[in-house]
Homo-oligomer: A and B are copies of this chain.
Amino acid sequence: MRILVVEDEPTLQAQLVEALAAAGYVADRAENGIDAHFLGDGETYDAVLLDLGLPRMDGITVLKKWRAAGRTMPVLILTARDSWHEKVAGIDAGADDYLAKPFHMAELLARLRALIRRAGGHASAEIACGPLVLDTRIGRVLADGQTLALTGHEFRVLAYLMHHQGEVISRSDLVEHIYAQDFDRDSNTVEVFIARLRKKLPAGMIETVRGLGYRLAAPGGPT
């Protein structure tokens, strides 16, 4: 999962990015409204953390522009305590959730998980697929009750597939959701990670759809 963090205060930004990394996400950063708008418009994110008080372009404006351009990724707004009018404005502008500063990192992560989960149409914090269970709260995948020992990128690939199980996911989709901003797309890294995952997973879970991409499904399960 790839997150855009829009926050002009460097300390908080660093804390956010670190916490996201610890939770298994990849994060891009923006320090001002212009950059934020550009990234959110051009790149692909699974969610956005958006501070409202930004240099160069206000957060609300950025959000409105994204929505007007048809961008639908979940947006979680961060702002100062007690500014309920900002909350109203944010929700009017198309925010999906709202968190007042100061907040606990754990709460932010919980809300973020909920947003991403809902965007994928999942109700529970645990996403299952055949023998696999992804526990989004602790960032682990269990296969038949056993924790899988996955590296960071392996986990991200698998988590993305599990969030979109049954769908065919193209290589470029995976690259966009797994790597931060600047990454050389001309390589076969995705194939390599799929291969590494297959070795660690029960056989037959990752299906190849020739010419299109991959699909995760329980063997013998829903097509």
Chain A interface, DSSP helix/strand/loop, else mixed: loop
Could you give, for residues 116-141 of chain A, a 1 whenever the CB lies within 8 Å of some chain B CB and a 0 otherwise?
00000000000000000000000010
Are A70 and B104 within 8 A (Cβ)? yes
State whether A22 and B170 are in contact (beta carbons under 8 Å apart), knowing that A152-B211, A211-B152 are contacts in the complex.
yes
Can you show 15 pairs from A to B with CB atoms below 8 A apart? A18-B170, A22-B168, A68-B81, A69-B102, A70-B101, A70-B102, A70-B103, A70-B104, A71-B102, A72-B104, A140-B223, A142-B223, A145-B223, A146-B223, A152-B211
Q: How far is the CA of A145 from the CA of B71 in the complex (A)?
A: 37
Q: In this assembly, does A89 line the interface, its C-beta being within 8 Å of a C-beta of chain B? A: no
Q: In this assembly, does A147 line the interface, its C-beta being within 8 Å of a C-beta of chain B? A: yes
- From residue 49 to 107 of chain A, which have CB atoms closer than 8 A to chain B? 68-72, 81, 101-104
A68 closest partner in B (C-beta): B81
